[in-house]
Amino acid sequence: MGPSPGTTTTVDDPRTGRGRAPAGGLPVVRAIPHHPGSVRAARRIARTALREWGVDEDTTELALLVVSELVTNAVEHALPPVALHVERPTERTVHIEVDDGGPSSVQGAWCAGRAPEEGGRGGGIIDALAAAHGSRPLPSGASHWADLTTF
């Protein structure tokens, strides 16, 4: 189980590398509600961290788009809990990760109310913006991540 909603924590997990002292400050890990409105909250959390770390505005805007896509996917296609990780492992890299509770058998409200051609673009957006991205299984879900190179 991840952190409780609304908390900020740092982690020290040698298996994932999370918790090392990033170039811009301590990693941010926040549990966020499994709700469509959480995308806005996740963007606000990421913007605050990136601003504190002095990340340039162009990279910040791209990172916020990646945060939006990853959190939307977690809310629409996965089970809770959802946790956002934002790190700056080097001066030239921003790492964004969203953990979820694994695939849901029921689509979220956004998916249910849209035409099929309106979805399915998030992976392409992340692919175009990220220097690297991927997914990995967690004991009770999955983690989806993207690394962006700063300008």
Residues 6+ apart with CB under 8 A from 95: 85, 86, 87, 88, 89, 145, 146, 147
Question: Across 14-92, where does the E strand assignment appear?
Answer: 28-32, 82-90
Counting residues of the chain whose pLDDT is more than 90, the rounded percentage is: 68
d(C-alpha 104, C-alpha 112), whole Å: 13
Instruction: For 32-63, write each residue's pLDDT tens digit.
Output: 999 989 999 999 999 999 999 999 999 999 99
Tokens of 128: 């175009």
Confidence of residue 120 (pLDDT cuts 50, 70, 90): low
What is the reported pLDDT for 136?
96
Residue with the two structure tokens 């990646």 = 66
pTM exceeding the 0.95 threshold for the entire prediction: no
* pLDDT above 90: residue 9: no
